[in-house]
Structure 1
Amino acid sequence: MTNYRVRLPAEWEPQDAIQLTWPHGGTDWKPILNEIIPVYETLVRLLTGAGEVIITVLPKGLNSLSKRMSQLGISVDKLQLFPVETNDTWVRDYGPVTVETDHGLCLLDYQFNAWGNKHPCELDNALTSALFELGAYPGASVQKRTLVLEGGSIETDGNGTLLTTAQCLLNPNRNPSFDQTAIEQQLCKDLGVKKINWLQHGALQGDDTDSHIDTLARLCPNNVIAYQACDDITDSHYPELQLMADELQNMTSADGSSYRLIPLPWPSAKYDQTGQRLPATYANFLVFNHLVIVPTYRDTKDSEALAQLAKAFPGYQVEGVDCLPVIQQHGSLHCITMQLPKGTLNAH
């Protein structure tokens, strides 16, 4: 096969839909369902202003969720609900990674092992296949992959560059038989990238993903990187995040261009009820067509974070969503969503 074209689009390219998995009593959300569900409802209301939303919901909860969406005044033509059993709601990491190919859009269905076998995940790992069988993605084909890979661990500019972290992708709890060269070869082949930039530094306390890139640094249009900075020299994160910023400063894209860096403010420390530090990060934002949705944390730095991301995405609508409940389970806004590029929902 000669020069088979494949490309992983950037998140700011046109999208058909955002995919979510609805929280339920079988997930770790059980103790705070009454706090987390309103976050999802707010998110769906915002998202349906910019495109469609696909929601996976437990079969027994399908009718009640449908009724609730009607009560909220959310247009049914912007929603698709699919009854599928799931372990948890972190669809960024077990949802499809969608690439463009010479034969149309293809959903790459990577293996999900719950961030190195930390939690049960059999149902989540099977979700993309289940949704495909139910007709959720009529404009795409699906290909299973044996590589363990989470969507939150990779960032692309859609133009040949991938940004990731060594701490996650080279962790022996994912693909123990793969070294960096083997991982790079596989990702370049699968995603059509020409250059992979590896961050060696950067980690947030309370993050159990082994340093997903979407908690730390995000590629934005026009060779911009928005990254989680730390300006508090007394904070334990300060040394690592300073080293990460230095690394970003020295990176170039696949075409050799250097980056303009936009630092995101450092929120005050957030803790759970046991006193464990939570990974509050403004880098975990979502881009959906003309909209940028930013996680906020009832923090004095929230408004500054929105202003900084407005610089990274000029002309976009920038909105905040209170994600203090979301980080109680050690992820944030981007982690509970997955984008589906334009054409994924259009039957041929």
Structure 2
Amino acid sequence: MTYRLLPEWYPQDGIQLTWPRPDGDWAHMLARIEATLERIVIATTRFQRVLICVPDELTQQRITTTFDAYGVPASRLQLIVAPTDDTWARDHGPISVIDAQGQMLMLDYTFTGWGGKFPAERDNRLTQWLAEAGVWACPLATRNLVLEGGGIETDGEGTLLTTEACLLNPNRNPTLSREDVEAQLAQDFGIDRVLWLVNGHLEGDDTDSHIDTLARFCDPTTIAYVRCDDPNDPHYPALAAMEQELQAFRQRNGERYRLIALPWPQACFDPDDGHRLPATYANFLIINQAVLVPTYGDPADVTALHALASAFPEHTLIPIECVSVIRQHGSLHCLTMQLPQGTLTQSTFPATAIC
């Protein structure tokens, strides 16, 4: 059976979020990150459903009350208590593919906390656990390949965009060559072209240059990417080299891609220890009829929104302030995983399930 990896703009049943644990990495700023997640939920439920994995019954009851007070339709909000390590659903969530008959399949890849940097056993188990709880409406297949959703982008037509720094990193699949990785991706995703970026990184990024922090497909012919215009910024050389790589890429028909440069926000630093944080406008989320855009209280926010408006003229753009999110080295897209049409059960599954 041949499957095709779906682009993010494919119609969705909903998105998946993983709510932070009170005793997790967000404990010192729990109220702040919860406020950001609440904004994501309120914005998304205007258009589709949101599945939230919550750490315990108390959290489930509390946020149910909160969203009821906000007027979020109960039919679009689905909570399930599940064991987790952290909040980055983009990287521990399922990756969806479709066959020629329109049948969906979810792929569950191995998640190791970005090459063993952080605990990830519960997050790695989460997709299978949700399958056992009856959440998914389609089959689930497990893969041994270490792969995170934030590390890949597709045009939905057989082309994959990714970075060497992530997919070829020895901390992911050390025994596999580039050819081995490409062969596995071709088998799983039905792709026949991989566009490899050699350059590009963000300080404070734990993911080894996930593509969703750097360059994103907006449609099969358009790529939005981060550009640094400050020659004195340490990012400038690598991002300038990345821009040249993107300019050299060609579509399947030989035409250049339409490239949309996203602005470079002012440097953001952690208030506790002063290290630089990975603020990027490339970490936007495409949902049904809307695009959620991370903002940072920066003058470049407006420029970024205008740039993405040109890429998504048929979508409503919704800014989501993400200053708190980058404190833990991710942003909006990293917190979410889209669930394409046909992946969520249509009946209301239990609000609470205990493992």
- Same structural fold, with TM-score higher than 0.5 when normalized by the shorter chain: yes
CA distance in 2, matches of 1:175, 1:253: 29
Cα distance, 1:24 vs structure 2: 2.0
CA distance in 1, matches of 2:302, 2:220: 23
Q: Is the 8 A contact 2:157 2:220 kept in 1?
A: no
Q: Is the 8 A contact 1:194 1:254 kept in 2?
A: no
Cα distance, 1:327 vs structure 2: 0.1
Q: How does 1:40-189 map to 2 (within 5 A)?
A: 40-60=37-57, 61-102=59-100, 104-138=103-137, 140-189=138-187
Give unpaired runs (5+ residues) of structure 2. 348-355
- 2:8 aligns with 11
Cα distance, 1:221 vs structure 2: 1.4
Distance 1:254 1:26, change over 3 A: farther
Query: Does the residue aligned with 2:261 lie in a helix, a strand or coil?
Result: strand
Cα distance, 1:59 vs structure 2: 2.5
CA distance in 2, matches of 1:34, 1:68: 13
RMSD value, Cα: 1.2
Q: Is the 8 A contact 1:14 1:342 kept in 2?
A: yes
Q: Which runs of 4+ in 1 moved over 6 A?
A: none
Is the counterpart of residue 239 in structure 1 residue 237 in structure 2?
yes
CA distance in 2, matches of 1:142, 1:300: 44
State the TM-score, normalized to the length of structure 2: 0.95
Is the counterpart of residue 266 in structure 1 residue 256 in structure 2?
no
Give unpaired runs (5+ residues) of structure 1. none
- 2:285 aligns with 286
Query: Does the residue aligned with 2:139 lie in a helix, a strand or coil?
Result: strand
Same amino acid, percent of matched pairs: 50
CA distance in 2, matches of 1:229, 1:332: 17
CA distance in 2, matches of 1:197, 1:27: 36
- What letter matches 1:143 in structure 2? A
Q: Is the 8 A contact 2:111 2:147 kept in 1?
A: yes
Q: Is the 8 A contact 1:217 1:225 kept in 2?
A: yes
CA distance in 1, matches of 2:252, 2:122: 37
Query: Does the residue aligned with 2:41 lie in a helix, a strand or coil?
Result: helix
Query: Does the residue aligned with 2:199 lie in a helix, a strand or coil?
Result: coil
Given the alignment, which residue of 7, 21, 24 partners 2:21? 24
Cα distance, 1:194 vs structure 2: 1.2
CA offsets 1:94-134 (integer angstroms, 9 cap, x no match): 10001002571111000000000001110000000011111
Cα distance, 1:150 vs structure 2: 0.1
CA distance in 1, matches of 2:346, 2:107: 18
Q: How many residue pairs align between the two structures?
A: 344
